[in-house]
Structure 1
Amino acid sequence: MNQASKNLNTAIDIVYLWVNGNDGEWRAKREKYAQKLKATGNLSFAKFGNVEGRYRDNDELRFSLRALEKFFPEHGHIYIVTDGQVPDWFQSSDQITLVDHHQLIPHSALPTFDSGNIESYIHHIPGLSERYFYLNDDVFFGAPVCLENWFFEKGFFVSWSDEPEVIGNKLQAESTSLENACRLSKQWLQAKLNKSNQRTDSRVRKMDPHYQHTSRTFSHSPRPMLKSVMMEIERDAPELFERVRSTVFRTWNKPTIISDFVLRWALAHGLAKTIDHSHLYIATGQSLGAQSLKHLKKQFGSLDFFCINDTTDDAHDADPRLLEVRQILNALLPNSSYSEMVKSQDANAIEALKFKQPLGMAV
């Protein structure tokens, strides 16, 4: 039995990305680098790549952790990857590690404000379990977690979104990052399939010759991952990792790979399977956002997961749509998790929690 197989019996860790886009110091840094790139002519934002909703903190992480504790209490260690920030409600715990960007990403590549860049490093977190879930902070478990619906012996399950299929093969400036990610995946996998007939290197995992690309995008879900698979994908497609790791902001021609390419690569190599998870995607800025929140209230407890995507973009923080989200999450998930500081504690204690134990570079 190899080490990866042995590690399948360990607890499943959780990795979150989190940013407090309301923090004045962080906002000034973001603006500084946006202006710097604009001045050099090197800035090509992806569609919706630098709007306020991309970074605004609506306390989603607090409620996602509550959902995690409610529906998957047997999880392993939690890692929260941040840009030197700590939630003001955060309670130090042996079960949670805050990972600063500087502890994970080469200093020469910082700062970056692109989650697609940051998430490409998380499988290098020291001590991370072989099997883990990766979540953005706006993604929530919505029912008790049955691991057989997320992992199988050699891989993991993925689910499709309800979005329209992506049209065209070339990356397009007016498309979203996920749409371009779908196109990039198709280009790379088709090129590998064409070359596979000529390869004799037994060290390279062969693609399924019957693999067929679909232009559907993947759901906004908790991402079940295998660390060994991620390491193999990085060895197989280093140029794609280098590409997304060169970004400062989300860029249309360097789209995310974790939310598409990694999943399609695993499907094409027999390390992932599709499954129909029950899920709900809520875009708060769309006209149906309020109706979707009503559906969430009715279906909570029976949804495998849900996502509340802040698409109000440049709305003010007191926008009634954002307040409604907070009210509903408070009603559905009223109980504090062990990660939350008791109200009587001095808020200045936050500073004492900041990254005292450097993890060290693992890349």
Structure 2
Amino acid sequence: MTTDSVRSILKSANFNYSEECRLGRIRFRISAATSSVADAFRTSGMVCEPSPSNNSLHLSLFAHSLRHNLAGAMSVEVVFADSTLHNLKPVALTQPIDVVYTWVDSEDPQWQRDYAEALALHGPSSPRTSSDIIRFQDRDELKYSLRALEMFAPWVNHIFIVTSGQVPPWLDLDNPQITLVSHTEIFEQQADLPTFNSHAIEANLHRIPGLSEHFLYFNDDVFLADWTTPETFFTPNGETKFFESENHVPSDPSVTDLPSNWAAFNNKKLLEESFKYIATKKFKHTAHAQRLTTLQKAATHFREKVEETTAKKFRNRSDISLPSNLAHHFGAIIGTAVASDIRYRYIDINSARVDVELSRLLLWDDPTIFCLNQVTSRIYPDKSEVTMIRNFLEKYFPWKSSAEL
């Protein structure tokens, strides 16, 4: 819509222009004075913001002062003739970058039967937080995460959604950019299925057929919130970037510790035993940049632990977490991953102030990416919780993506 409006205004004002596509967005190059171009757009009712270098304008149909991240994502860039292409920052990483999501629908009757059977057999030996049904609840997060992805990372090559054979009812199966992948396609031992262990599923993502060398691994509760480029997640040479949190790996986790803490602890032991490498910090709940070959090498090097993790029906204290933790450290050791940082917000849905935190995120906070996480069920469940999250996501990401029917 904004692009068509820009074309119409440029033609009406008799400006000579050309178009180019950069990172999934149209850019217009124009031979005219900056002031006259800006005046033409403002007269037509468009919001017009100059870039810091004053060699381009960002145009939008609504105010940048309100949700400027959305305004920026929906804006169109006009570059002036006195700013040559070599003055613009090039995109160094030109290889395709895929995205992998893991998703589950706990309302599916077959899934519920399988879950009940596995819970009866394996639940007593698993940490309570591993089998808590809240871990599998779907609030349509995937739908909104895909909206965010299309809005803030249109340069993504292909999207793989890994499920237990389920299909989101709103998903457009005819979209050529999306492929559904069943657990049966990536698990070597079918006896390990069905699984309810996220560590087991992610430990086999490197087996996805057709997956590109560079990809991002998303949980469906992770959302982009501002414009990104490949260099948000990868270096110009293609190394992955990882984002350490302020939380340290526990040195002596207790039996009541979360399975994710146990996995980080187990990863730390493996790295120290194999490479004398000391891992001290955990990682932020963001999209995890991956190199397929690095993931494959890590899975081969730690094959015994990968197989042990894969065999567990629910997350277990003996698990490792491969792409979300171990592969980052492994990549740092072999020279394919580097530490970096990203603007980030983490919100615990169980927080007593979750409504306040969501309001701040919607109105004031300025992250590049955020996570809405829930570790355990509330003691007194609030039925309005699902409605609250869905309403927030609908307000934050109001436009349907091409992934939706």
TM-score for both structures, normalised by structure 1: 0.80
Q: How far apart are residue 14 of structure 1 and its match?
A: 0.8
Distance 1:316 1:90 in 2: 33
1:157 match: 241
For 2:150 and 2:282, the matched residues in 1 are separated by 29
Amino acid at match of 1:263: H
Specify the alignment match of 1:9 in structure 2: 94
Contact 1:47-1:173 within 8 A present in 2 as well: no
Cα distance in structure 1, aligned partners of 2:119 and 2:136: 14
Q: Is the Cα–Cα contact under 8 Å of residues 263 and 317 in structure 2 kept in the other structure?
A: no
Report if the CA contact (8 A) 1:51-1:314 is conserved.
no
Q: Find the counterpart in structure 2 of residue 221 from structure 1.
A: 286
Paired letter, 1:244: T
Equivalent residue for 1:337?
Answer: 401
User: Shift in Å at residue 212 of structure 1?
Assistant: 4.1
Find the aligned partners of 1:99 and 1:142 in 2 and give their Cα distance: 26
Relative to its length, the structure with more strand (as a share) is 2
For residues 95-114 of structure 1, the aligned pairs below 5 Å read 95-106=177-188, 107-114=190-197
Which amino acid is 1:179 matched to? N
Q: 1:154 to 1:336 in 2, by over 3 A?
A: closer
- Displacement of 1:312 in angstroms is 5.8
Identity %: 29
1:183 deviates by: 1.3
Q: Does 1:320 align with 2:384?
A: yes
Report the Cα offset of residue 29 of structure 1: 1.2
Contact 2:272-2:278 within 8 A present in 1 as well: no
2:251 is the alignment partner of 1:185: no
Which ranges of structure 2 fall in alignment gaps of 5 or more residues?
1-92
**AA matched with 2:240:** F
Distance in 2 between residues matched to 1:267 and 1:299, nearest whole Å: 35
Larger relative CO (CA 8 A, sep 6+): 1 or 2? Answer: 1
Change (3 A) 1:120 1:243: same
In structure 2, the residue matched to 1:200 is none
Superposed CA offset, 1:42-86 (max 9, x none) = x52235111122000000000000000000012111111111111
Provide Cα deviations, 1:153-196, integer angstroms capped at 9, x if missing partner: 25211112244x23324x542111221122112211111235xx
Using the TM superposition, give the Cα deviation of residue 267 of structure 1 relative to its aligned residue in structure 2, in angstroms. 2.3
Instruction: Out of 46-55 and 71-80, give the one that drifted further.
Output: 46-55
Amino acid at match of 1:160: E
- CA distance in structure 2 between the partners assigned to 1:119 and 1:46 by the alignment: 19
Among 140, 157, 167, the residue aligned to 1:86: 167
Partner of 1:24: 109
Offset at residue 37 of structure 1 (A): 2.7
Give the direction of change, closer, same or farther, for the CA distance of 1:253–1:320 in structure 2 (3 Å limit).
same
Q: Is 1:77 equivalent to 2:158 in the alignment?
A: yes
Cα pair distance change 1:123/1:316, threshold 3 Å: farther
Give per-residue Cα distances to partners, 1:283-323, cap 9 Å, x unaligned.
111223222212211346x4221001134626898722322
What are the superposed Cα offsets for residues 221-249 of structure 1, whole Å, 9 maximum, x if unpaired?
Answer: 10110101111112222122112111111
* Structure 1 unmatched runs, 5+: 1-7, 195-210, 342-363
Tell me if the contact between 2:162 and 2:180 (Cα under 8 Å) persists in the aligned partners. yes
SS of equivalent to 1:160? strand
Counterpart CA distance in 1 for 2:397 and 2:379 is 25
* Whole-angstrom CA distance in 2 between matches of 1:162 and 1:72: 27
Matches of 2:305 and 2:226, distance apart in 1: 34
Q: Indicate conservation of the 8 Å contact 2:266/2:318, yes or no.
A: no
Match of 2:143 among 44, 49, 62: 62
Q: Residues of 2 paired with 1:177 and 1:258: CA distance?
A: 15
Paired residues for 1:1-363 under 5 Å = 9-37=94-122, 43-92=124-173, 93-106=175-188, 107-152=190-235, 153-163=237-247, 165-169=248-252, 172-194=254-276, 211-214=277-280, 216-299=281-364, 302-311=366-375, 313=377, 319-341=383-405
Q: Is the 8 A contact 1:284 1:312 kept in 2?
A: no
User: How far apart, CA to CA, are the structure 2 residues paired with 1:81 and 1:299?
Assistant: 33
Q: Are the counterparts in 2 of residues 181 and 256 from structure 1 also a CA contact under 8 Å?
A: yes
Q: How many matched pairs? A: 310
- Whether contact under 8 Å (1:284, 1:322) holds in the other structure is no
Equivalent residue letter for 1:105 = F
The 8 Å contact of residues 222 and 369 in structure 2, kept in 1 or not, is answered as yes
Gap change, CA 1:131 and 1:323, over 3 Å in 2? same
Counterpart CA distance in 1 for 2:167 and 2:215 is: 22
Once the two structures are TM-superposed, the CA of residue 98 in structure 1 deviates from its matched residue by: 0.7
Listed one character per residue, the Cα deviations across residues 114-146 of structure 1 (whole Å, up to 9, x for unaligned) are 111011111111111110011011111111112
Please give the secondary structure, in 2, of the residue aligned with 1:330. Answer: helix
When the two chains are superposed, the root-mean-square deviation of aligned CA atoms in Å is 2.0
